[in-house]
Amino acid sequence: MKKVALFLLAALLLPLCVSAQEEPSDEGYFLTLKQKGQLIGRGRIQDAKDNWYDISICPGYTHPVQYGKKNMKQAGRNLKEYIQKKKYKNIRRHSGDAFDWAFKDRLHDYVWKGTGKEWKKNFSSAKTRTEKRVFGWWLSYPWAMMQSSMDNVVRIPTGLTGTALGAAWGGAVVPVAGMTDSSIKGAWNGGVEGIALPATGLAWNTVVSPPMALFGQKPAKKRVDGFWVRSVSSSKNYKPNPKELSDLIAWGTLLQNELTAYKEQRIAVAKNQTAQIKATYEEQKRIREDTFDERKSIDRREKARVQELLSSPEANPQEWSALDVRENQSAIRQQLGKRTGLSKTEQSEILRLLRKYPPNDPKPSEERTARKTDPAQEAIKVLKTVPGDI
């Protein structure tokens, strides 16, 4: 056992002796008594030139104590919230938001108004189909009844559930959370951050700092690794001589004289860039505003002209819808190709106008219903649209 102890001691001291030989410029290897006290007490070491080095694995005694003191003050501020008006104002505000969501958004808008809107929309479509006597018009009102009922199957339960959850959140969850959060934060800051962690740091420092102070090497800037050893401050007592100050000022003056022109150029370019961007944006905005009404007017005149053409004697409109035109584009294009004198561009333009203004232009909703459906598929379609109102 004695041989093992001697071997371990030799293994511990050998790297220190080798390192001491590698640093002949250092004034001694081991820390001075003052530096030992600094390492144990503060977790930092000051060299002969008054530079400070922080040793991260040695917290010292002052740092845990200060850390605990800071968090104990924070715990006191947490508990002080119970006697401040802001806490209760926040509780009222968050509870009010929850009640607004529950009763205004969910119950009034989503359930009450949303239900009426769906019934009105579906029965309006049924009325239109009945008046036009479309194929199967006698089924329009039962179909509207089925659509509205399926909407209500989802809308009313989900809306009432949301109302109940919102009311519970505003009446119970928010007040309980608001009244307990300060004590929870105070317990964490005071118990964990203020007592437990500082006690752990003090215990660790008691274990690790004394041997590090006993065998540790004097710090130097070339041995700073940025992790275990960090240079935290340079000497505050260093006073440069007049020549050093003069040389430094001369260098700064030279930089100012030579580089000021570049600074002024950058400022000018930045100002010019800002001015151009602003001018471009304002011009684009003005152009959009000036041409908006003009484009709308052109669209209205174009549609009015189409209606005139449909009612004129020269027109011979057939039962062609936009859907028919899209599905027969190839045949229409072939027919256009047989006509002489029409370029490819003119053919494409005619096809575009036929898609936009077909002779028989049903409402988009009616055109979409040309797809096959049944009560089950329609019910699923209604159920998919309900969540969009949530």
**34 falls within a domain:** yes
**263 falls within a domain:** yes
Print pLDDT tens along the chain (390 aa). Answer: 444 344 434 433 433 443 344 343 446 678 888 988 988 998 888 887 778 888 888 889 998 999 999 999 999 999 999 999 999 999 999 999 999 999 999 999 888 988 888 898 889 888 888 888 888 888 888 888 888 888 888 888 988 999 999 999 999 999 999 999 999 999 999 999 999 999 999 999 999 889 888 887 787 777 776 667 887 765 555 567 788 788 888 888 888 888 889 989 999 999 999 999 988 988 888 888 888 888 888 988 888 888 888 777 666 666 777 777 888 888 888 888 877 677 888 888 888 888 888 876 554 444 444 456 666 666 666 666 665 555
Looking at the structure of the chain, the number of domains it has is 2
Span 135-185, pLDDT tens digits: 888 888 888 888 888 888 888 898 899 999 999 999 999 999 999 999 999
Note whether 147 and 295 are same-domain residues.
no
The beta strands (E) that lie in 211-280 are given as 229-233
**91 falls within a domain:** yes
Note whether 139 and 230 are same-domain residues.
yes
Note whether 196 and 283 are same-domain residues.
no
Q: Which of 187, 203, 238 is the last residue of a domain?
A: 238
**210 falls within a domain:** yes
Residues 109, 101: Cα–Cα separation, whole Å: 10
Residues 64, 196: Cα–Cα separation, whole Å: 10
Note whether 172 and 46 are same-domain residues.
yes
Note whether 43 and 173 are same-domain residues.
yes
**66 falls within a domain:** yes
pLDDT for the residue 92: 92
**Domain housing 198:** 22-238
346 to 122, 242, 336, 342, 375: CA distances (angstroms): 42, 87, 9, 6, 45
Residues 386, 148: Cα–Cα separation, whole Å: 11
Q: Is 46 helix (H, G, I), strand (E, B) or coil?
A: strand
Residues 58, 228: Cα–Cα separation, whole Å: 9
Note whether 190 and 254 are same-domain residues.
no
